[in-house]
């Protein structure tokens, strides 16, 4: 990988944006690498959890300025193709069956907000600043909007999409965009604790639970949805992992899926 570093340790794969000289801004190469990585990690049974991190003072500043310059004269078809690449990357992250944690060690702007929002859990340092800056450039945060609006809620999105204000980590937590805010020295400990909770759970149950969240959140409670939830619990109870979980609990022993 040219723009990413990968590190695996006891079930946790850490994917780090490694362009600190441009505040981890992304271009077409970074987008392609992230898409490939998240698509590949989903196929690796030894990986139980993915942490998305950034190297340097910023988590991700959005689009690379040089990349934006190269797109200045694009026509509609070229812009469609370019936006589709970003959309595929966000889909690969959001729909990755593995649980994902955004480790936000610094400022996060524009497209970087999409990366955080597409993760399941987000932990931020208290000094990080956030901004959906697109309208200041005469643009809109269209491609990232499905994920960001889900993360912060429509009401907060109305304000921050339209004003392009910067806001701090405490506000990001208040509106639900990040789950936890910590001092810089406590960031790794907080992320590790969450990752350990995830890798200690039944791996197939975690995947099924993530799919459940996608299937249920924001959807109307219909007879079809209720039926799928009934089928979901019945299927997981009858699975090998479900049986092992219940038997280990009743037998007061550790389940076999725990890592040594």
Q: Are 52 and 115 in contact (CB under 8 A)?
A: yes
CA-wise closest residue to 210 among 54, 51, 87, 93: 93
Give the angle subtended at the CA of 201 by the CAs of 251 and 46, to the nearest 5°: 115
Residue 45 contacts by C-beta under 8 Å, 6 or more apart in sequence?
Answer: 203
User: Is 134 one of the annotated active-site residues of the chain?
Assistant: yes
Q: Are 99 and 50 in contact (CB under 8 A)?
A: yes
**Which one of 13, 77, 91, 134 is the catalytic residue?**
134
Q: Are 194 and 101 in contact (CB under 8 A)?
A: yes
CA-wise closest residue to 5 among 40, 49, 53: 53
Residue 137: C-alpha distances to residues 31, 100, 164, 240, 248 (Å): 21, 31, 10, 53, 57
Query: How buried is residue 149: exposed, middle or buried, by Cβ count under 10 Å (0-12/13-18/19+)?
Result: middle
- Classify residue 103 as left (phi > 0), alpha (psi -120 to 50) or beta: beta
Query: Rounded distance, CA 187 to CA 194, Å?
Result: 11
Query: Rounded distance, CA 123 to CA 182, Å?
Result: 8
β-bridge partners, 55: none
Annotated active-site positions, please?
134
């Amino acid at each position: 990988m040219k723009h990413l570093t990968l590190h695996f340790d006891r079930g946790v794969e850490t994917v780090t944006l490694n362009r600190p000289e441009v505040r981890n801004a992304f271009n077409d190469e970074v987008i392609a690498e992230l898409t490939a990585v998240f698509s590949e990690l989903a196929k690796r049974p030894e990986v139980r959890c993915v942490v998305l991190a950034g190297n340097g003072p910023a988590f991700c500043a959005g689009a690379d300025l040089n990349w934006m310059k190269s797109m200045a004269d694009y026509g509609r078809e070229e812009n469609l193709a370019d936006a589709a690449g970003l959309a595929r990357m966000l889909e690969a992250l959001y729909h990755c069956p593995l649980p994902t944690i955004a480790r936000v060690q610094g400022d996060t702007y524009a497209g970087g907000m999409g990366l955080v929002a597409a993760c399941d859990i987000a932990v931020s340092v208290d000094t990080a600043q956030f901004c959906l800056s697109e309208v200041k450039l005469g643009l809109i945060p269209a491609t990232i909007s499905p994920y960001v609006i889900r993360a912060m809620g429509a009401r907060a999105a109305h304000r921050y999409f339209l004003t392009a204000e910067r806001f701090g980590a405490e506000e990001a937590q208040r509106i639900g965009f990040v789950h936890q805010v910590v001092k810089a020295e406590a960031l790794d400990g907080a992320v590790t604790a969450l990752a350990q909770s995830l890798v200690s759970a039944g791996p197939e149950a975690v995947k099924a639970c993530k799919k459940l969240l996608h299937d249920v959140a924001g959807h109307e409670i219909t007879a079809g949805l209720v039926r799928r939830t009934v089928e979901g619990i019945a299927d997981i109870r009858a699975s090998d992992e479900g049986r092992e979980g219940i038997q280990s609990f009743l037998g007061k022993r550790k389940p076999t899926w725990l890592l040594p």
